[in-house]
């Protein structure tokens, strides 16, 4: 078959504009025509320190010159250091590293099922949330509650029971002797930045304790400083038994983590693994990212920029008669009652601003965590111009 465009050698996986990105610096992305974009998507909350930060390029080049992959059959210094940093700065006892959020969540599901087989007479069912998102492997798609995915790639992996977010009675009613865990995102990201209430999260902790269930937080999007605290669970004042991290922990490279309380770490040798898991090249990046976030003032800065962006979005919402501003820290959304999110995102891109229409009625903002005050102000003024034309 002849190819009609330069893109035809790639499988179709999503609708993409005919733009090729060639370079990124901080909050700015440049395409092959030289056009620059203020990036408030940042690879879907992945580039936590912006594009091509020096700490990451240095961590990669230093580690690449020293040791890339001794294989998971041996310990390496960077994986040990990253696990130490993560457990020291969280409520968890041990970690396992993965290459994507979906893979970390697969690990969480496997860990919960293993724990159920050891401690709960083989209980394996996991209660998850309608509209939740946990990844694109078969099991994590099955755990997800994206209505769009119903009927896709059947049969799904069994063992996931879906309930509505923030409906504690529904969770209680779904618990049976087969239930081993409850799994959710503290803020549903892909669904359009829909927060679980603090009361719901505390209620889940209580239900889990009462019924001897594991509470699993998927913090792939909310973790690593995104909400202005290192992890979202800290804001709810409770501790999950298992937490997964992805996206921001790698600052743009494929790195994810599965963390668990010591008592839950029940994998035996051979239960879990993977060729690239915990390789020192990616772990060195994770260390550089986390050490940057732990520097004094970093998280305060996330809160300040988040407040600036949220406040500006609220002003625009009032000015143009738009909807609610949701989210926390630098994971924010603006509701567009007209349902014209895709058009707005497209117009914004043409004018040099990248924002994501998570849903037709929702714009999502996920800038770099070190975005500057001027960049937030520029984003808001570009949006003001765009709404003036398009609303």
Ligand X SMILES: *Cc1c(COP(=O)(O)O)cnc(C)c1O
Binding region for N(2)-acetyl-L-ornithine = 136
Residue nearest ligand X, CB atom distance: 101
Least Cβ distance, residue 167 to ligand X (angstroms): 19
Q: What order of strands is seen across the sheet that includes strand 36-39?
A: 21-25, 28-31, 36-39, 353-354
Between 234 and 308, name the residue whose CB sits nearer to ligand X. 234
Least Cβ distance, residue 33 to ligand X (angstroms): 28
Q: Among the candidate windows 121-129, 182-190, 201-209, 288-296, which touches ligand X by CB under 6 A?
A: 182-190
Residue 186 touches ligand X, criterion: CB under 6 A: no
Between 123 and 258, name the residue whose CB sits nearer to ligand X. 258
Q: Where do the DSSP E strands lie in 6-53? A: 21-25, 28-31, 36-39
Among 95, 189, 192, 203, binds ligand X (CB under 6 A): 189
Least Cβ distance, residue 134 to ligand X (angstroms): 5
* Helix segments in the chain, DSSP class H: 42-45, 54-66, 77-88, 101-119, 138-143, 168-174, 198-211, 233-236, 280-293, 298-320, 341-350, 373-390
Residue 100 touches ligand X, criterion: CB under 6 A: yes
Q: Are 128 and 144 in contact (CB under 8 A)?
A: yes
Per-residue mark of binding to ligand X, 204-223 (x: CB under 6 A)? --------------x-xx--
Q: Among the candidate windows 50-58, 94-102, 260-268, 313-321, which touches ligand X by CB under 6 A?
A: 94-102
Q: Among the candidate windows 33-41, 61-69, 185-193, 325-333, which touches ligand X by CB under 6 A?
A: 185-193
Closest Cα to residue 74, out of 260, 286, 273?
273
Between 221 and 279, name the residue whose CB sits nearer to ligand X. 221
DSSP class of residue 267 equals: P
Asked if residue 368 has a cis previous peptide bond (ω within 30° of 0), the answer is: no
Q: Among the candidate windows 34-42, 96-104, 171-179, 338-346, which touches ligand X by CB under 6 A?
A: 96-104
Spatial separation of the C-alpha atoms in residues 258 and 349, rounded to whole Å: 35
Among 95, 135, 195, 225, binds ligand X (CB under 6 A): 135
Residues tagged in the binding site annotation for pyridoxal 5'-phosphate: 101-102, 133, 218-221, 275
Q: Among the candidate windows 71-79, 184-192, 334-342, 346-354, which touches ligand X by CB under 6 A?
A: 184-192
Work out the burial of residue 383: count CB atoms within 10 Å of its CB; fewer than 13 is exposed, 13-18 middle, 19 or more buried.
buried
Cα separations in angstroms, 193 against 27, 227, 333, 384: 21, 12, 6, 21
Residue 53 touches ligand X, criterion: CB under 6 A: no
Between 96 and 133, name the residue whose CB sits nearer to ligand X. 133
Residue 106 touches ligand X, criterion: CB under 6 A: no
Between 78 and 221, name the residue whose CB sits nearer to ligand X. 221
Per-residue mark of binding to ligand X, 114-133 (x: CB under 6 A)? -------------------x
Among 101, 159, 252, 327, binds ligand X (CB under 6 A): 101
Angle at 335 between CA 245 and CA 197, to 5 degrees: 50
Between 10 and 269, name the residue whose CB sits nearer to ligand X. 10
Spatial separation of the C-alpha atoms in residues 133 and 213, rounded to whole Å: 21
Residues tagged in the binding site annotation: 101-102, 133, 136, 218-221, 275
Spatial separation of the C-alpha atoms in residues 105 and 342, rounded to whole Å: 29
Q: Among the candidate windows 98-106, 151-159, 192-200, 346-354, which touches ligand X by CB under 6 A?
A: 98-106
Q: Are 256 and 286 in contact (CB under 8 A)?
A: no
Q: Put residue 222 in one of left, alpha, beta given phi > 0 → left and psi -120 to 50 → alpha.
A: alpha
Per-residue mark of binding to ligand X, 226-265 (x: CB under 6 A)? --------------------xx------------------
Residue 185 touches ligand X, criterion: CB under 6 A: yes
Q: Put residue 43 in one of left, alpha, beta given phi > 0 → left and psi -120 to 50 → alpha.
A: left
Task: Count other C-beta atoms under 10 Å from residue 177's C-beta.
Answer: 10
Place of tokens 């770099």: 368
Spatial separation of the C-alpha atoms in residues 150 and 170, rounded to whole Å: 21
Binding site for ligand X (CB under 6 A): 100-102, 105, 133-135, 185, 189-190, 218, 220-221, 246-247
């Amino acid at each position: 078959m002849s190819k009609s465009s330069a893109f035809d050698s790639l499988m179709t996986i999503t609708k993409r504009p005919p733009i090729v990105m060639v370079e990124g610096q901080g909050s700015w992305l440049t395409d092959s025509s030289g056009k620059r974009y203020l990036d408030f998507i940042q690879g879907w909350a992945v580039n936590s320190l912006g594009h091509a930060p020096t700490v990451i390029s240095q961590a990669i080049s230093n580690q690449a010159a020293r040791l890339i992959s001794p294989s998971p059959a041996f310990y390496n210094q960077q994986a040990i250091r990253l696990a130490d940093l993560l457990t020291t700065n969280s409520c968890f006892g041990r970690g396992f590293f993965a290459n994507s959020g979906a893979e970390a969540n697969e690990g969480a599901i496997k860990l919960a099922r293993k724990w159920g087989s050891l401690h709960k007479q083989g209980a394996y069912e996991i209660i998850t949330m309608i509209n939740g998102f946990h990844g694109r492997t078969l099991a994590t798609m099955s755990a997800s509650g994206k209505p769009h995915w119903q009927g896709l790639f059947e049969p799904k992996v069994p063992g996931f029971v879906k309930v509505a977010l923030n409906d504690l009675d529904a969770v209680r009613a779904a618990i049976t002797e087969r239930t081993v865990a409850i799994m959710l995102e503290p803020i549903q990201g892909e669904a359009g930045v829909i927060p679980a209430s603090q009361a719901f999260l505390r209620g889940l902790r209580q239900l889990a304790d009462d019924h001897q269930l594991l509470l699993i937080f998927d913090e792939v999007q909310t973790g690593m400083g995104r909400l202005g605290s290192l992890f979202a669970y800290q804001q709810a004042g409770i501790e999950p038994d298992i937490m997964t991290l992805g996206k921001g922990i790698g600052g743009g490279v494929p790195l994810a983590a599965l963390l668990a309380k010591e008592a839950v770490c029940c994998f035996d040798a051979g239960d879990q693994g993977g060729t690239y898991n915990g390789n020192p090249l990616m772990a060195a990046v994770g260390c550089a990212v986390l050490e940057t976030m732990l520097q004094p003032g970093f998280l305060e800065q996330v809160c300040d920029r988040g407040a600036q962006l949220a406040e500006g979005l609220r002003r625009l919402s009032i000015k143009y008669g738009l909807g609610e501003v949701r989210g926390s820290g630098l994971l924010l959304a603006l509701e567009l009652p007209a349902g014209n999110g895709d058009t707005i995102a497209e117009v914004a891109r043409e004018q040099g601003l990248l924002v994501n229409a998570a849903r037709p009625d929702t714009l999502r903002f996920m800038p770099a965590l070190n975005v500057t005050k001027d960049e937030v102000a520029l984003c808001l003024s570009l949006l003001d111009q765009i709404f003036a034309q398009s609303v």
